[in-house]
Structure 1
Amino acid sequence: MLCERCGLSSSVYVTVEEKVAMFLLVAGHGLKMKLLRGTYKRSLGTISTHFSAILRAILSMHGEFIKLPDANVQSPNDYKWKWFGDALGALDGCHVDVSVPVAAQGRYRNRKQAVTTNML
């Protein structure tokens, strides 16, 4: 799809498959581009250029993959749904600091090791 619809093509030294693999390792697994430099034997500039090209190509196809909520859909008559009338169905990721006993802090630690809880 990236080649056919977005016009991506292999360069002299890097194939489209290799570009996508580098992109997925950075975006999907959170690897640093510096680690890819040793794995793929490419410079950081090359990796960054190909990452940006793949990202632009994926974002150009957003209309095919991202479906916005339909405003005409009626919510269920269940009384629990009245609180979520304008909700889009995703958390916003807002974390607030909390104060909990030391024994319970493990459950409230986020990925940055701060004691927080996720707020809707």
Structure 2
Amino acid sequence: MFKLHPTTFMKLRDELMERYLIRDSCYVTATEQLGIFMYAMGHGVASGAMCEHFQHSSETISKHVRKVTKALASLHFIYIKLPSLTDPVHPRIRHDDRFYPYFKDAIGAIDGTHVPTHILREKQARYRNRKEVVS
């Protein structure tokens, strides 16, 4: 579940609205649209449960989850800066023979986040993490 302070939630909503990425619709406010998205991502519940919780049709739920997903993804141009090929490798990694061979061609950092994914069955063994989850 996402643990997001209400002020942060409202700032995110305002950011999306100021950039015209989401807006109030006839039956669903921008706040509720973002709430639907956060609930879907944080709880991973079935569509039926989402319909019951928010009292909207599955079409409405799906539409707003997709809309907010696209809106948030479009913010990556503003807030995410990928390292360039000219960015230096951190000295702690570069000068430690235990790490550098593994990170010399890496683009980005490893923060311990594992994202669940779908992989062809015959390739899944290579993508299992220490908890045996494909990520």
Count of residue pairs the alignment pairs up = 103
Asked if residue 58 in structure 1 is aligned to residue 87 in structure 2, the reply is no
Q: Runs in 1 of length 4+ with deviation above 6 angstroms?
A: 91-94
Q: Which runs of 5+ in 1 are unaligned?
A: 98-107, 113-117
Q: Which secondary structure state, in structure 1, belongs to the residue aligned with residue 33 of structure 2?
A: helix
* Larger strand proportion of the pair: 1
The answer to whether the 8 A contact 1:6-1:60 is kept is no
Deviations 1:49-98 (A, max 9, x none): 1111111211221112222123223332222213321123347978527x
Q: Which runs of 5+ in 2 are unaligned?
A: 1-14, 118-122
Once the two structures are superposed, the pairs formed by residues 106-117 of structure 1 within 5 Å of their partners are 109-111=131-133
What amino acid does structure 2 have at the position aligned with 1:110?
E
RMSD: 2.7
The correspondence for 2:125, drawn from 96, 102, 105, is 96
Answer with 43-52 or 57-66: which moved more: 57-66
Q: Which residue of 2 aligns with 1:79?
A: 97
What amino acid does structure 2 have at the position aligned with 1:87?
A
TM-score (normalizing by structure 2)? 0.63
Answer with 43-52 or 72-81: which moved more: 72-81
% same residue? 27
